[in-house]
């Protein structure tokens, strides 16, 4: 699982380079971006990916701590350990699906002929 997280980190590092380094504001209307009339721009996609990977890693460490607590008998319930493990598994599967879609989109862009 750690190698997949490092692959996701590498993919997130490549994404800003695809845009030529320039960050352009989103073209979404205010009601889609959640803006309430302020001039703030939404977070770049690479930052969102990095934050999401950090959250997946946090859930994985919580699951490891819950399972270790269950095995050592330090007051962790079986249900708590299972819930933490399933949360981590679902978050990882979602991150993997996003990575696969990003790689697929990248391959399609590379394969385009102009």
- Residue 33 CB neighbour total at 10 angstroms: 14
Residue 22 belongs to some domain of the structure = no
Residue 114 belongs to some domain of the structure = yes
Residue 35 belongs to some domain of the structure = no
Number of domains in the chain: 1
Residue 102 belongs to some domain of the structure = yes
Residue 69 belongs to some domain of the structure = yes
Q: Is residue 112 classed exposed, middle or buried when 0-12, 13-18 and 19+ CB atoms within 10 A define those classes?
A: exposed
In this prediction the pTM is 0.60
78's CB contacts (< 8 A; 6+ apart) are: 70
Expressed as residue numbers, the domain containing 78 is 1-8+47-114
Average pLDDT, the chain: 77
Residue 18 belongs to some domain of the structure = no
Among residues 86, 84, 90, 92, the alpha carbon closest in space to that of 68 is found at 84
Residue 103 belongs to some domain of the structure = yes
More confident of the two residues 50 and 30: 50
pLDDT tens digits, one per residue of 46-81: 898 899 999 999 999 999 999 999 999 888 899 999
């Amino acid at each position: 699982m750690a190698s997949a997280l490092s692959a996701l980190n590498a993919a997130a590092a490549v994404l800003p380079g695809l845009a030529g380094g320039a960050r352009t504001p989103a073209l979404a209307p205010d009601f889609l971006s959640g803006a309430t009339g302020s001039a703030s721009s939404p977070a770049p996609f690479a930052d969102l990916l990095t934050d999401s990977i950090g959250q997946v890693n946090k859930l994985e460490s919580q699951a490891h701590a819950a399972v270790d607590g269950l095995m050592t008998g330090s007051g962790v319930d079986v249900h708590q350990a299972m819930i933490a493990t399933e949360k981590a598994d679902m978050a990882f599967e979602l991150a993997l699906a996003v990575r696969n879609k990003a790689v697929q989109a990248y391959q399609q862009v590379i394969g385009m002929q102009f």
